[in-house]
Chains A and B, each alone.
Chain A
């Protein structure tokens, strides 16, 4: 695949459509030569980013879409997931399984942690409506580390 290629997908704000972005990201990563385990990491990160955009950013509003822009360069695949929300205010934190299992913390709320843990770069940008996004990157040079 030619370096500098870009693909854009627009998802309805309905849970389940994150799988379309997962499949697209997996196809591009396969074409770039990423290994199967890195592709699985990417699929989970992209799914969680899209779920956050659908649920929290667009609040399941069927009139809004989630934009997913996938861009390649020689050694990296970058994915931006864009929604109409106000953006993320807090940095991801590791889930406290003890608090969750003892009912002291919501069992949910692990998406941002998983995103950050599974890709090489993850950054959240706050912006005006339609401009907030999370940017994910996986790098080919990490393949052999």
Chain B
């Protein structure tokens, strides 16, 4: 298209040009991964501006937190990022433990690490399946779900639930690891590397996949940091930063793993980063199950939790990015304020910047590559 046809030079205008149309990707949409409404301002096929309308899944979780006790609030936290419930629980329990000044015993920390890494693999598998489905590859979804099924079976054996697990307790764990946990995790990890090779064989060198994802949705490192973007999105833009290494929590300081980073910050790089992250998570699990320390699983916490007044901010590396909990305690059994820093919300904010200048057909690919979960965006 000759440059004179592009009206992108004045994208901040609020008056619609004569040729601009608004296309609504409504809240009900197979590819927005939840109830997300994106208003696209188009010039022909190209997106000039976009606006996200969120809040369709707002459940007032932060308000509810102020009316529940600390233990009672833990199951609510799973429901935010429901694709990776275990990490939400980890972040919350560790934040409250910091607030109380207790530490979970070593055995609990290692088991927490194993379960969280398995959950990271499950979350990335789900992302891969749905992202590939949006771009048109119908088969990877079923392969990914087959692997994720194995992980969910392990969760079910451990705590009885597959999705909203409430696996951890403040101070450690409630349930002892079941007898075959190590064997199950090992069996899964042994076969998993070959499966990731299978997914990569289907997609990574595929001309069509590369054509649909390379150069799409680029965000530079400086922009990403300015927008507060975290997680694989930030790492794909070139910033080698992972909270598991920068501020280790649980048992991550004991294990050796790499932080996958790419340079360009386009959709293809984010895909590569997440694939490599799955492999690294598998390595962490293998290292962890070799040496689970014996000992108690619950630290010294009483039945009634009354943290001393004060506040704490604790962040973990959730599969989606930096999941932060800012908890203010006033000395009673109920938190005074719980603020959840949702990685998906802040990553979604960068959508407008990543979408501009792309075609309508790329919007779905870019939303998919951000890996958002609306439960977390809206809380």
Do chains A and B stick together as partners?
no
Which residues in A have some Cβ–Cβ distance to B below 8 Å?
none
